Structure 1
Amino acid sequence: MRIAAFGFRSIPPSKGAAGADKFAMELFPRLVERGHTVVAYNRRYPDVFVDVKEYKGVKVKTIKTTKRKGFDTLWHSFRSTLDIIINNTADIVHIQNGGNSIWALPLRLFGKKVFISQDGVDWKRDKWPWYGKLYLKLSAYITAHFPNEVIFDNVIAKKLFEDKFNKTYKFIPFGSEVEVTAGNDGIFDQLNIQKGNYYLFVGRFIPDKGLHYLIPAFNNSNSDKKLVLIGGSPNPSPYEQQLQDIAGPNVLFPGYIYGDDVNTLMSNAYCYIQPSDVEGLSPVVLTVMGLNVPLIVSDIEENEYAVQNTARKFKKGNIESLTEEINFCEANHDQMVALAKKAQVRALSEFNWEKVTDEHVEVFQK
């Protein structure tokens, strides 16, 4: 098959990357290994881009976009759509994010098969202004009806769409397994932290992720360990400065870290915390589960589905509840480790990238 894909930021990931980039990095090379050709459309921002033409057999086309928040994705997706149509780069188009579903219309008119990966209920995310939420609500109708297939990575969003639009959609979760390179310990010296002596969060610094709960909860806890917050705001944001203003001396902001370094940090954390208000099926949570690392998550439906009974949970948005869970982790780490072992079994059996790839091939070929 000839496949083109857009809707993520870049492969390999760069500053501002998130779950969509992790998904692209894992899925597309595996499609190439199975004998298909893949063209991935990277974004080039005025100050950020990855200068590559190929990544693990995937052909990379980099197209400029704007830094203006909320319009960078639409502009890049429009230009990617034009390139696919004018240069006939693919027969099958895989689009990430239902907000890009409007491009399914011209692509299908020009004979392309279009598949959209929908990772959650986007209009519930606090990062969007009212007009952004309105657009995402309207685009949900296009997502529901115009692609050849919509692929959901979590059953909660899938059920919401099925109930709303009286249709059946495909469910394919993210994978969980990653390779951790042995002897890659320089990151600990770089951050001045010790193995197993820090809590960790990895992701974008946006209100959806709940860091404004995590930092005060950690400050109020009994822990004398570090809290390492990997990531940042994909666009300049006062929210990131607010987080730094409320952080105590044991809270570290190293910025964006990728690849072996972030996998090493995850695999050696005392505990990973995911405090999100809104999520799809979080690829970071699945990765942490696969790495056999203790985990605390908010009790939103998507996290409940991922971890089931293999992690500690706190009440969404409740600082006191999260503080109690951090204190529990400090006092009962042996129980946290036991839960982590159960989580690893669940992750590697239920959320496997090879299985994910085979299921995408099956959907594309129908």
Structure 2
Amino acid sequence: MLKKTLLRRQHIPANPERSPQGRRVAITGTRGYPSYYGGFETLVRRLVPYLLDRGWQVTVYGRERVAHEDPSRDERAELIETAGLDWKSLSTLSFGMTSAIDAAVDRSDVALVMNVANGFWLPLLDRRQVPTVVNVDGIEWERAKWGPVAQRVFRAGARVTANHATTLVYDAQAIRQRWMDRYGRDGIVIPYGGEVHSALPVPLGLTSRAYVLLVARFVPENTVREFFDAVPKLAEVAPVVIVGSGGYGGELDARAEELARIRGVQWLGHVSDDRLLFSLWEHCGAYFHGHSVGGTNPALVQAMACGAPVVARDTVYNREVLGEVGVFTQPSAEAIADEVLSLLASPGRQDRLARLARERAQARYNWDDVCSAYESALADAVDRRRGSEP
């Protein structure tokens, strides 16, 4: 147990009076629980209580000090923060390594691992007979935010993942096909879910269906720069609300700060208040979704569940998620502005797209189905490993 003690920076044990006594799952590769950083963290916030309610013992590994007083935290879960280097290029690898070592020593019945960069550490779990269910995320090595070295690292991590993961989870059929073509590994498709909520008031003194919304991490593959180039033209017609940041500062954050000086433009930075974010999606006149790398994007699914009329960059992934309930555009400032302004000028079209988006989200991207699929994948991985033991 010495290795575990040295690796841990913070340990919040589960409430022993309430914690289930069933199969044990370790969740690695996220920033912690509860965390509001991105899609992985949203999934974990929904999956942890679902598994606990069904008798699983759950341990979540994290890389930052989460607010364990957060009322949304389920006290039946064990939380472990391990050591690592909180640098952009090394954080995933370093925290992934220490959490994998700790989970391997602990020998949980199964590990749910997020991100192929953590594939390097799957052999550690494999040697300890811990089966792994790996969410590969998107095609990480195609993200423009990573330099050539980081892209090679992600490719190498993907190869190790393909060789050592017990089960691969893809969040879209298009991602599944890419992995089958490249690595010959099939898996299961489990998308992200969207939270259905009751009607919320119009936020920030805005007018319903009369403003433009962007929600995105400020990285090139999210078409943020092109949208920013369109903002001055859009702001002449309607208010523009920008949600997001680069996380580490930089050119696009500076550009957002500059745009916020234009009358009618608001930059909110990163928003962790779900109620505010959901209300922004619910009442926007056009939500621009520029993500180009990845499968089922969590923000897009949640926007659909909120009834946002969507203008999306035309990609195979966005078309798979939206089907016929979105407007598609090329990634240029002129094309984005034209499609967004056209949608703003058509209230009937806005209402139709909003209704259809909600219906599609409820039918295809609901959290109960998502969490049930993950539980089945975890249970199957445990049964397969136990069935292979002599």
Same topology, TM > 0.5: yes
Residue in 2 that maps onto 1:215: 228
> 2:182 is matched by which residue type in structure 1?
K
Unpaired runs of 5+ residues, structure 2, are 1-22, 381-390
Distance 2:24 2:269 in 1: 36
Asked if 1:125 corresponds to 2:143, the answer is yes
Asked if 1:68 corresponds to 2:87, the answer is yes
Summarize the alignment of residues 12-31 of structure 1 with structure 2, pairs less than 5 Å apart.
12-14=34-36, 17-31=37-51
> Bigger shift: 23-32 or 232-241?
232-241
Distance 1:84 1:27 in 2: 19
Residue in 1 that maps onto 2:122: 104
Distance 1:236 1:72 in 2: 17
Does the CA contact (< 8 Å) of 2:169 and 2:188 recur in 1?
yes
Asked if 1:11 corresponds to 2:33, the answer is yes
Distance 2:348 2:35 in 1: 35
Q: Partner of 1:86: helix, strand, or coil? A: helix
Does the CA contact (< 8 Å) of 2:210 and 2:344 recur in 1?
no
Q: How far apart are 1:83 and its partner, in Å?
A: 1.6
Residue in 1 that maps onto 2:218: 205
- Percent identity, please: 21
Does the CA contact (< 8 Å) of 2:285 and 2:344 recur in 1?
no
TM-score, normalised on structure 1?
0.90
Residue in 2 that maps onto 1:164: 182
Higher Cα Rg, which structure: 2
Distance 2:345 2:69 in 1: 50
Distance 1:177 1:231 in 2: 20
Distance 2:281 2:200 in 1: 14
- Give the direction of change, closer, same or farther, for the CA distance of 1:156–1:162 in structure 2 (3 Å limit): same
Does the CA contact (< 8 Å) of 2:285 and 2:350 recur in 1?
no
Distance 1:227 1:195 in 2: 13
Q: Partner of 1:229: helix, strand, or coil? A: strand
Residue in 1 that maps onto 2:240: 227
Residue in 2 that maps onto 1:82: 101
Does the CA contact (< 8 Å) of 2:112 and 2:132 recur in 1?
yes
Q: Partner of 2:237: helix, strand, or coil? A: coil
Q: Deviations over 1:45-89 (max 9, x none)?
A: xxxx3231782243222234333111111111111112212334x
Q: Partner of 2:271: helix, strand, or coil? A: coil
Summarize the alignment of residues 1-366 of structure 1 with structure 2, pairs less than 5 Å apart.
1-14=23-36, 17-44=37-64, 49-52=65-68, 55-56=73-74, 57-88=76-107, 90-179=108-197, 188=203, 191=204, 193-221=206-234, 224-245=237-258, 248-258=262-272, 259-315=274-330, 317-366=331-380
Q: How far apart are 1:109 and its partner, in Å?
A: 0.4
Q: CA RMSD in A?
A: 2.0
> Bigger shift: 296-305 or 163-172?
163-172
Q: How far apart are 1:266 and its partner, in Å?
A: 1.9
Q: How far apart are 1:13 and its partner, in Å?
A: 2.4
Q: How far apart are 1:333 and its partner, in Å?
A: 2.5
Unpaired runs of 5+ residues, structure 1, are none
TM-score, normalised on structure 2?
0.85
Does the CA contact (< 8 Å) of 1:53 and 1:60 recur in 2?
no
> Bigger shift: 124-133 or 264-273?
264-273
> 2:43 is matched by which residue type in structure 1?
F
Distance 2:199 2:355 in 1: 20
Distance 1:180 1:125 in 2: 36
Does the CA contact (< 8 Å) of 1:124 and 1:133 recur in 2?
yes
Q: Deviations over 1:106-148 (max 9, x none)?
A: 0110110111101211111001011000111111111212110
Q: How far apart are 1:181 and its partner, in Å?
A: 7.7
- Give the direction of change, closer, same or farther, for the CA distance of 1:362–1:109 in structure 2 (3 Å limit): same
Aligned residues: 353
> 1:70 is matched by which residue type in structure 2?
S
Distance 2:250 2:231 in 1: 23
Q: Deviations over 1:9-33 (max 9, x none)?
A: 233224xx11111121122221112
Does the CA contact (< 8 Å) of 1:311 and 1:336 recur in 2?
no
